Structure 1
Amino acid sequence: MENLHNKVALITGGTKGIGYGIAESLLKQGIYVAITGRTEATAKEAASQLNAEGNDSVHAIGLEADVRSFESQEKAVAAVLKEFGKIDIVIANAGVGHFATVEDLSIEAWQETIDINLTGPFFTLKAGMDSLIESKGYFISISSLAGTNFFAGGAAYNASKFGLTGFTQAVMLDLRKHGIKVSTIMPGSVATHFNGNKPNEKDAWKIQKEDIGELVVDLLKMNPRTLPSKIEVRPSTPPTK
């Protein structure tokens, strides 16, 4: 996928943070972008902000979609196809984090974490499968270093991200016969709104959302004969404890 101009990307959870940063980077490459959010208002507002950044040749649209619902993901895919006529890139980015010891972890928190972080990417990919087969496209999941490094209080989050990493790697083997490329990106600390954080100057040492966007562009521009299937990325100079 070396020529990115006029490609079409669907990004779940694209209203802020990593998803928004990826959308910004793709628009700069001449890629049409559809971002999803939990409400139509937030999705359309984020798309309007993206379009105001001066990407004259392409544009973004915002869609309400819930990754926990396969029907909702099907509707999002249908809306993208109606607007742009194809889908070349699907990025499963939507995620949530609940952190508690297993004694304190609620059933509801466990279920929401698994539904959004693990079942969500499956629904997203499944809904976009026919389009990706037709375009010989690219599927990228945003996992986490928590998908390979476990920690106390991370039972739900670790389970979801370990699962997502394994899911994406298996999918890579399933889909390469169709000419579809599949990668998972596993970031460490990122300066986003995740888990109630509000990015500020204290987050300067962290990975920035545009860094993940740049990484996605690099993946898309990679020579088709080569596939970085699992990418770990972390801050180069974390603060000393």
Structure 2
Amino acid sequence: MKDLQGKVAYITGGSKGIGFGIAKKLIEVGMKVAISGRTLKTVEKASEYLENNENVLALSSDVTKLEEEQKAIATIIKKWGKVDVVLANAGVGHFAPIDQMSTSDWQAMIDTNLSGVFHTLKASVEALKKTEGYYITLASLAGANFFANGAGYNATKFGVVGFTQAAMLDLRQYGVKVSTIMPGSVSTEFAGNSPSDKDAWKIQPEDIGELVLDLLKMHPRTLPSKIEVRPTRPDKK
């Protein structure tokens, strides 16, 4: 995408953290951006902090429900006529030893982190074919590196990486690019964290936004299909 001015993007989980950081960067280059979350009031409040509000659309959508993602995509197309970029960013994390993990926590991660990514692509794939657009999932280094207390989260993120790579092979024949970004530690509210100066060593959400811009500006012939990204220096314990 040589000229990003006027391109239309949809970001799930866009009211805070990585999704919000990406939205800021896309708006800065003149893109129109729809952000969604489960609670419309929360998404609308977040949209007020994004500059150039005329290019921002706040939507309520629960990615665990295909029909809600279909409605979100239909709303975007009705407003702006197309969808060029979709970022499947919504996710949850529950961490516990496998013998102590509840079935409800397990299911919540499967439904949001894995099924949600499928629902977002299923809802948007025909629109992306029309624009030869870009579908990007936000996975995690947890999708390649397992750790104690992370069985459920690892399972979903390993799944997201595999899903995205297979979808990439399915969709490139239509000119649709598909990539997954696998961040390490990012300064967000994830898992109950409150971002502060103690998180200065971490990747910042806007850094992921810059990475997304790099992907969008890549020559059409070249596809970085899986990107691992981590802090330059780990925290000094």
Q: Classify the TM-score, shorter chain.
A: over 0.9
Counterpart of 1:234?
A: 230
Distance 1:226 1:77 in 2: 27
**CA deviation profile, 1:213-236 (whole Å, cap 9, x unmatched):** 000000000011111000000000
Deviation at 1:240, TM superposition (A): 3.3
Runs of 4+ that moved beyond 4 A: none
Aligned position for 1:139: 135
Separation of aligned partners in 1, 2:80 and 2:89: 21
Corresponding residue number in structure 2 for 1:7: 7
Q: Which amino acid aligns with 1:179?
A: G
CA distance in 1: counterparts of 2:147 and 2:218, whole angstroms:
33
**Offset of residue 198 of structure 1:** 0.8
What CA deviation, in whole Å up to 9, does each residue of 1:70-101 have, x standing for no partner?
00101101111111110000000000000000
Deviation at 1:46, TM superposition (A): 1.1
Three-state SS of the structure 2 residue aligned to 1:11 is strand
> If the length of structure 2 is used for normalisation, what is the TM-score?
0.98
Identity over aligned pairs, percent: 60
Instruction: Report what 1:148 is aligned to.
Output: 144
What pairs up with 1:1-241 in 2 under 5 angstroms?
Answer: 1-50=1-50, 53=51, 55=52, 59-241=55-237
CA–CA distance in 2 between the matches of 1:239 and 1:180?
A: 38
> Secondary structure of 2:48's match?
helix
The residue matched to 2:79 in structure 1 has which SS? Answer: helix
Cα RMSD after superposing both structures = 0.9
Q: Tell me, what secondary structure is at the counterpart of 1:49? A: coil
Give the AA of the match of 1:73: E
Q: After TM superposition, give the deviation of residue 43 of structure 1 in Å.
A: 1.1
Counterpart code for 1:98? H
1:45 & 1:133 partners in 2: Cα distance?
32
Q: Deviations over 1:11-63 (max 9, x none)?
A: 0000000000000000011110000011110111111211xx3x37x611110
- The TM-score, its normalising length taken from structure 1, stands at 0.97
Helix, strand or coil at the partner of 1:119: helix
> In the alignment, residue 222 of structure 1 is paired with which amino acid?
M
Amino acid at match of 1:126: K
- More divergent stretch after superposition (211-220 vs 36-45): 36-45
Gaps of 5+ in 2: none
The secondary structure found in structure 2 opposite 1:61 is strand
User: What letter is aligned with 1:198?
Assistant: S
Aligned residues: 237
CA distance in 2, matches of 1:152, 1:120: 24
Say which SS state the counterpart of residue 128 (structure 2) adopts.
helix
Unaligned runs of 5+ in 1: none
* Cα deviation code 1:86-118 (max 9, x no counterpart): 000000000000000011100000000011000
Give 1:151 deviation, angstroms. 0.2
SS of aligned partner of 1:10: strand
Quote the Cα distance in structure 1 between the aligned partners of 2:64 and 2:73.
15
Q: Which amino acid aligns with 2:62?
A: D
